[in-house]
C-alpha cells in the first residue's frame, strides 16, 4: 500500500480544499424547437428533466464513495436565442422561467444558456433574447445568460457592445446581485462548464458531461515547499500539481459519464478560487513572490501560472476544453478582495492580467453611478484583448446600485463579496455610440 500517496491525496482534499468545482451536463435543445412557444417550452422542460434526472444523484454518489467534494451540479443548454427564434413570442422571459423550473425540479445549482451569439450580427431571436435579459435574469435565481460580442474571426460587434452596456446597467437597476448571472464574451467557447458563461455549443453532441476542476489551495501548498528556488522550479511544481488535480477531474468525469450513460466531453483545467482562506489564486501569486497581487510583476507571475497549469493538465486528461486557465474573479477570491481593499489592485492592472489569464474582468463591482457607456467601454476593451490575442475574454461587472467606492456588495456563499472599485470617469460615449463593427484583426505581422 502506497501510504505516502494516500496521505498526499487525502491532504489535498481535506486540508487544501481540492474539489470538483462542477459537473455540467450539456444538453442540446434543437429537437425542442417549435413555432408555438408554449409547446417549445413544454418540450424543453421534458427534455431537461428526463436527460438530467440522475445528475444530482450520481454526483452525490461519487462524492460519497470517493470522498471528493463536488461543489456544483449544473446544466448548459443550446443558446436560447436559436431555439426560441422559430416561435412568434416577442419576449423570451418565459423560456428563462422554464429553465428555472427544470433546474429546480432537478435540484441543480445553475442552468446556463440564456445566451446569444452576435459577434457578427443579430438574428431576430438574438434581438428578443437580449431585450429580455434584465427581466429574465432578475426574475430567476438559477438561470445564467451570456452574449458573445466578438471573435478573432469576425471582429467586434460594437452595436452589441453598446447594447450590452445598457443591459448590464438595466439589470443592475432592478437587482445588482443578478448581474453575476450575466457575462459578455469575446471568443466564447462551446464546452465551458463554468457559469455564468456556460452554454451548449451547436457543434456539440446531443448530451455531454463536462467537468470543471479547482485546486488553488493545492498549488499554493506545493509552492510553499519550494520557497526561494528558481522560477524553473516554480513552473515544474505547478505543472506536477496541475497534473494531479486534472487527473481527478478526468477520473470523476469518466465515472459520472459512465453512470449517466452520456459521453464524456472535456475537463476544464481551471484554477477556480472560492472566498474561503487558502483557496485563492491571488495567494498563489503572492507565494511566487509578490508582496500583494497588483504589484509590478503580477502579470508575469500570472502568465507563468496559467501556462504551467495548462502544461501540467494537458497530459493528465483525454480532452481539454472550456476556459482552461486561472480564474481571477475579484469577489470569489479572498486574496483579490484584500488587494482591492488595501488599494493594491486597480481595474487597469486587473485588465492587464486578463490578457494572460483564462477569462477577464470577472465579478468586479463598480460604483452605482457608472454609466452604460462606460460599461460598454470596458466590454470593448476586454473584447479587444481577446480578439487580438486569439483567446477568450469576458466581462462580468456589477454596477452596485446606490454604492460608492469603498463600500461593498455581498453575493452570498461561494460567490463572496466585492469591494466597489473606482472606474475612470472619462466618457467613451461618442466612441461607443458610433456603432458598427471593429473589423477582424490581421493574422500576420504579430507585434
Residues that bind another protein (CB under 8 A): 1-3, 5-10, 12, 64-68, 244, 247-248, 250-251
CB of 1 to another protein, least distance (A): 4
What distance in Å separates the CA atoms of residue 288 and residue 306, rounded to the nearest whole number?
Answer: 13
CB of 191 to another protein, least distance (A): 22
CB of 245 to another protein, least distance (A): 8
Q: Helices 93-106 and 124-139: crossing angle, nearest 10°?
A: 50
| HSE (side-chain half, CA atoms, 13 Å) at 62 | 28
Question: Toward another protein, which CB reaches closer, 65 or 232?
Answer: 65
Task: Compare residues 2 and 90 and give the one whose CB is closer to another protein.
Answer: 2
DSSP state of 425: -
Q: Is the dihedral of CA 327, 331, 333, 336 positive or negative?
A: positive
- Residue number, 246 or 354, with CB nearest to another protein: 246
d(CA 167, CA 131): 8
- CB closer to another protein out of 67 and 121: 67
Backbone angles phi, psi at 365, to 5 degrees: -90, 135
Identify whether the C-beta of residue 204 lies closer than 8 Å to the C-beta of residue 265.
Answer: yes
Rank residues 3 and 35 by Cβ distance to another protein and give the closer one: 3
C-alpha cell at 6: 494516500
Nearer to another protein, 156 or 213 (CB): 213
CB of 236 to another protein, least distance (A): 16
Q: How far is the CB of 299 from another protein (least distance, A)?
A: 31
DSSP annotation string for 279-346: --HHHHHHHHT-SSTTSTTHHHHHHHHHHHHHHHHHTTSS-B-SS-SB---STT-HHHHHHHHTT---
User: In the complex, what is the shortest distance from the CB of residue 107 to another protein, in angstroms, rounded to a whole number?
Assistant: 19
250 or 331: CB nearest another protein: 250
Phi-psi region of 158 (alpha: psi -120 to 50; beta: other; left: phi over 0): alpha
Q: How far apart are CA 213 and CA 248, in angstroms?
A: 8
Residues in the chain: 447
Whose Cβ is closer to another protein: residue 114's or residue 251's?
251
Query: By 3-state DSSP, what share of the chain in percent is helix, strand and coil, each rounded to 5?
Result: 45, 20, 35
| Three-state DSSP class for residue 97 | helix
Question: Shortest gap between Cβ of 211 and another protein (angstroms)?
Answer: 13
CB of 246 to another protein, least distance (A): 9
Strands 70-77 and 20-27: parallel
* Closest distance of CB 424 from another protein, Å: 46
Question: At a CB cut-off of 8 Å and minimum separation 6, what does 218 contact?
Answer: 12, 16, 17, 18, 241, 244, 245
Which cell goes with 207? Answer: 448530451
Nearest distance from C-beta of residue 55 to another protein, angstroms:
19
Classify 160 as helix, strand or coil: helix
Nearer to another protein, 3 or 426 (CB): 3
Of 2 and 232, nearer to another protein (C-beta) is 2
Instruction: Output 247 or 437, the one with its CB closest to another protein.
Output: 247
- Minimum Å distance from CB 276 to another protein? 20
Angle between helix 231-260 and 55-66 (nearest 10): 130
Amino acid at each position: 500500500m502506497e501510504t505516502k500517496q494516500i496521505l498526499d491525496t487525502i491532504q489535498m482534499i481535506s486540508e487544501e480544499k481540492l474539489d470538483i468545482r462542477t459537473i455540467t451536463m450539456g444538453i442540446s435543445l434543437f429537437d425542442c424547437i417549435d413555432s408555438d412557444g408554449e409547446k417549445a417550452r413544454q418540450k424543453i422542460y421534458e427534455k431537461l428533466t428526463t436527460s438530467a434526472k440522475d445528475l444530482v444523484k450520481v454526483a452525490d454518489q461519487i462524492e460519497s464513495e470517493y470522498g471528493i467534494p463536488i461543489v456544483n451540479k449544473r446544466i448548459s443548454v443550446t443558446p436560447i436565442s436559436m431555439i426560441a427564434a422559430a416561435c412568434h413570442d416577442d419576449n423570451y422571459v418565459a423560456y428563462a422561467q422554464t429553465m428555472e423550473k427544470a433546474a429546480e425540479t432537478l435540484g441543480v445549482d445553475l442552468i446556463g444558456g440564456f445566451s446569444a451569439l452576435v459577434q457578427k450580427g443579430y438574428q431576430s431571436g438574438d434581438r428578443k433574447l437580449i431585450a429580455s435579459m434584465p427581466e429574465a435574469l432578475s426574475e430567476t435565481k438559477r438561470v445564467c445568460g451570456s452574449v458573445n460580442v466578438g471573435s478573432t474571426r469576425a471582429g467586434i460587434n460594437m452595436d452589441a457592445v453598446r447594447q450590452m452596456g445598457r443591459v448590464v446597467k438595466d439589470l443592475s437597476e432592478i437587482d445588482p446581485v443578478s448581474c453575476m448571472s450575466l457575462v459578455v464574451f469575446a471568443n466564447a467557447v462551446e464546452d465551458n462548464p463554468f457559469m455564468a458563461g456556460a452554454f451548449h455549443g451547436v457543434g456539440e453532441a446531443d448530451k455531454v458531461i463536462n467537468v470543471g476542476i479547482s485546486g488553488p489551495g493545492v498549488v499554493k501548498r506545493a509552492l510553499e515547499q519550494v520557497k526561494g528556488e528558481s522560477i524553473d522550479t516554480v513552473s515544474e511544481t505547478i505543472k506536477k500539481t496541475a497534473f494531479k488535480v486534472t487527473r481527478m477531474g478526468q477520473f470523476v468525469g469518466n465515472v459520472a459519464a459512465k453512470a449517466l450513460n452520456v459521453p464524456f466531453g472535456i475537463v476544464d483545467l481551471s484554477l477556480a478560487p472560492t472566498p474561503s482562506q487558502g483557496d485563492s489564486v491571488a495567494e498563489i501569486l503572492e507565494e511566487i513572490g509578490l508582496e500583494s497581487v497588483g504589484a509590478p510583476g503580477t502579470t508575469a507571475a500570472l502568465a507563468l501560472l496559467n501556462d504551467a497549469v495548462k502544461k501540467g493538465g494537458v497530459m493528465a486528461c483525454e480532452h481539454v476544453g472550456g476556459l482552461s486557465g486561472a480564474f481571477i474573479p475579484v469577489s470569489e477570491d479572498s486574496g483579490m478582495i484584500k488587494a482591492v481593499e488595501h488599494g493594491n489592485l486597480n481595474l487597469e492592472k486587473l485588465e492587464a492580467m486578463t490578457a494572460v489569464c483564462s477569462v477577464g474582468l470577472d465579478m468586479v463591482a463598480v460604483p452605482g453611478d457608472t454609466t452604460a457607456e462606460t460599461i460598454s467601454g470596458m466590454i470593448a476593451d476586454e473584447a479587444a484583448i481577446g480578439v487580438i490575442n486569439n483567446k477568450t475574454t469576458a466581462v462580468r461587472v456589477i454596477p452596485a446600485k446606490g454604492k460608492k467606492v469603498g463600500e461593498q456588495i455581498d453575493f452570498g456563499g461561494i460567490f463572496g463579496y466585492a469591494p466597489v472599485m473606482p472606474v475612470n470617469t472619462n466618457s467613451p460615449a461618442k466612441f461607443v455610440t458610433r456603432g458598427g463593427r471593429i473589423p477582424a484583426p490581421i493574422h500576420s505581422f504579430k507585434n
